[in-house]
């Protein structure tokens, strides 16, 4: 990992979820992301290191995504490597070719395989049969790249190493994004609160691991039903889409079930009071794309509290850190 020293390598591993990282690996990935952001934001691109020169990553996308595709392609180019996009029309996992064969073939052409899939079992099968590292770019259970970007964004706002004891509240659907964000936040000593409607709770087994990490790091995990109770004194309020890709037929029912879960100015004002070094004590995150029923324009476009666009940018620096750590 030339030009970036003191950072643990993930060579020989896959990047599947936050739970599979050690505490040191999680902190080192955040540190490397910050180093990369500082280095590659330099006004002198001609002198930047190209540690992935000669390397390539195949990006398998069963589900479309603006941020994942653009951040990976741009990030790999900055590192000196090449990214190849494979959409549903290019590769149909397990349909026209078995998962095992796809993994074997792509491993012979590429240094890394990044997969954005519906079922987590698909990315597990790729990892089982691939001879190169697999990056989970999203599955129905996990979204670890988003969690890294969120945590980097929070460290930038509150200060590196300052997340211990902070309260992070999730308002909305207990989904894959929540799973990894809660896992990372708990491991960094944050107090995680989740407010979901009945029937939309996060995966119990995964959240049991979140609770375990929270207990050993000095944090905590609680589930609430009332969003206003959950956001009381919170330093971070997070939401996400209420209708994920593939759930379109459930739209009307979900709109009814999530009534009262829209993040509003009143919710934000119910969070932590005061400021942190001149910055608001309570901030807002959303992984995007955003829909107006999830959060009001007043909150989403608040230049002081909303960190959604720095959060989106940090998707690139964190995927760069993951790719560089694996090759």
Catalytic residue list: 287
> What's the CA dihedral at 11, 31, 16, 308 to 10 degrees?
-150
**Residue 304 CB neighbour total at 10 angstroms:** 10
Residues 263, 48: Cα–Cα separation, whole Å: 41
Whether the CB-CB separation of 234 and 168 falls below 8 Å is answered with yes
Measured in whole angstroms, the distance separating CA 177 from the mean position of its chain's CA atoms is: 6
Length of the chain: 327
Provide CB contacts within 8 A for 199, sequence distance 6+: 257
What are the helix (H) ranges across 47-175?
A: 66-78, 99-109, 120-129, 144-158
Whether the CB-CB separation of 183 and 18 falls below 8 Å is answered with yes
**Residue 322 CB neighbour total at 10 angstroms:** 25
Provide the 3-class DSSP secondary structure of residue 15: strand
Give the residues across from 85 on adjacent strands: 59
3-state SS, 249-291, equals: HHHHHHHHHCCCCCECHHHHHCCCCCEECCEECCEEEECCCCC
Provide CB contacts within 8 A for 142, sequence distance 6+: 16, 17, 18, 120, 136, 176, 179, 180
Residues 162, 155: Cα–Cα separation, whole Å: 7
């Amino acid at each position: 990992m030339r030009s970036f020293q003191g950072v643990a390598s993930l060579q020989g591993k896959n990047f599947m979820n936050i739970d599979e990282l050690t505490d040191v690996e999680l902190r080192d990935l955040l540190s490397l992301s910050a180093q990369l952001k500082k280095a590659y934001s330099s006004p002198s691109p001609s002198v930047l290191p190209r540690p992935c020169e000669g390397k390539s990553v195949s990006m398998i996308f069963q589900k479309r995504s603006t941020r994942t595709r653009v951040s990976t392609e741009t990030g790999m180019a900055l590192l000196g490597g090449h990214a190849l996009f494979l959409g549903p029309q290019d590769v149909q996992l397990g349909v026209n070719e078995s998962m095992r064969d796809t993994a074997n073939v792509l491993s012979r052409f590429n240094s890394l395989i990044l997969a954005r899939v519906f079922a987590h079992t698909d990315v597990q099968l790729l990892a089982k049969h691939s001879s190169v590292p697999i990056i989970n770019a999203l599955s129905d259970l996990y979204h670890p790249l988003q969690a890294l970007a969120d945590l980097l964004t929070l460290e930038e706002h509150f200060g590196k190493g300052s997340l211990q004891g902070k309260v992070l509240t999730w308002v909305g659907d207990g989904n894959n994004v929540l799973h990894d964000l809660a896992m990372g936040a708990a491991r960094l000593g944050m107090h995680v609160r989740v407010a979901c409607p009945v029937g939309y709770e996060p995966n119990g087994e995964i959240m049991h691991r979140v609770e375990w990490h929270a207990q050993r790091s000095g944090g905590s995990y609680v589930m609430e039903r009332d969003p206003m109770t959950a956001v009381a004194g919170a330093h971070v309020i997070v939401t996400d889409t209420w209708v994920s890709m593939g759930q379109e037929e459930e739209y009307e029912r979900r709109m009814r079930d999530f009534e009262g879960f829209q993040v509003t100015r009143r919710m934000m004002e119910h969070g932590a009071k005061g400021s942190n070094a001149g910055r608001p004590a309570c901030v807002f995150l959303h992984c995007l794309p955003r829909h107006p029923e999830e959060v009001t324009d007043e909150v989403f476009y608040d230049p002081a509290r909303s960190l959604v666009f720095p959060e989106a940018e940090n998707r690139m620096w964190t995927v760069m850190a993951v790719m560089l750590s694996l090759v």
